[in-house]
Amino acid sequence: MTDSTKSLQALEEFILLGKSAPGAAAVANIQKCISSPNCFVFAELLELSNVQALQNDPEHSKWLEALKLFAYGSYMDYKKQKTASPDTLPDLSDVQLTKLKQLSLITIASTEPHKLTYPSLQSLLDIPNTRLLEDLIISAIYASLLDAKLDTANQRVEVSSTAGRDVAPGDITNMISALEAWSSSCSDVLTEIEAQIASIQASAVAQRKEQVTYEKQVEEKRKAAEKDGSKGKRVIDHDHPGLGPGDDEMDLDDGPFDDQGGARKTRKGGNKMFSRKR
């Protein structure tokens, strides 16, 4: 079972009670929910008609506002609103304040990660010392709100991932815009990749054509060379039809003159001899 499933199951109890709990009973249900150590999502409870009806009751509407802060607000929002309009929010218990600070760590890590230093967190969350800050962060890690490590040497919190929070009504438009921008960026990247693939394929086809043309030319030249060599051999055989492998001729002088004073030639390689007078 995942931690988000556990949180939803913990919320289910309060949803069932909230469906039949108007007025003061709805307020009591909210107080228990925001104090529960296992419940960190609140949207379904916030949407109940009995809960939404609290906005029409000046005495109880402050708890509806508190529930909104636990759903998608932060301790910084609580402190700011409580200072500006004290009557619009209730006084929270220590347990409730701690839980709101735990949820605020998610918001800070997601939206302002550069503020994940010990001094910044102590200032934002009104935590007087490092020991209490580390205790808060460790409790958030054990509640699976953060996947993080404490860098005590550099006084920083290294956050790898966070749990999700409920989405504020005004954030939906921003989320849609962000998703549309992301989708457009993905489309641009995909178009570029497809263009590169097409270019590579075209280059491969062109190279293959060049290779085929080259091989064809080489083959044609080889055949032409073989044909020319065969033709030259036939011409030689036609000019000397009586010559064979053993019929090479050479005229040699046996001596400067024959018996009659003429030059005498002897054909070697054949069987005939002849002499010619000068």
Domain boundary among 142, 162, 182: 162
Out of 162, 181, 209, pick the residue that ends a domain.
Answer: 162
What pLDDT does residue 122 have? 98
| pLDDT for 4 beyond 60 | yes
pTM of the model: 0.66
Evaluate whether residue 145 is within a structural domain: yes
In percent, the amount of the chain with pLDDT more than 90 equals: 66
**What residues have CB less than 8 Å from 253, skipping those under 6 apart?**
263, 264, 265, 266
Residue range 27-42, pLDDT digits in tens: 999 999 999 999 999 9
pLDDT of residue 252: 46
Convert the pLDDT of each residue in 60-118 to its tens digit. 999 999 999 999 999 999 999 999 999 999 999 999 999 999 999 999 999 999 999 99
Q: How many Å apart are CA 181 and CA 167, to the nearest integer?
A: 19
Same-domain pairing of 149 and 257: no
Residue 183, in any domain of the structure: no
Q: Are residues 120 and 245 in the same domain?
A: no
Rounded to the nearest 5 degrees, what angle is found at the Cα of 166, between the Cα atoms of 165 and 169?
Answer: 140
pLDDT of residue 233: 58
Q: Which domain holds residue 103?
A: 3-162
Residue 265 lies in a domain: yes
Q: Do 32 and 143 have their domain in common?
A: yes
pLDDT-based confidence at 239, cuts 50/70/90? low
**Structural domain includes residue 97:** yes
Domain count, the chain: 2
Q: In which band, very low, low, confident or very high, does the pLDDT at 21 lie, cut at 50, 70 and 90? A: confident
Residue 254: inside a domain, yes or no? yes
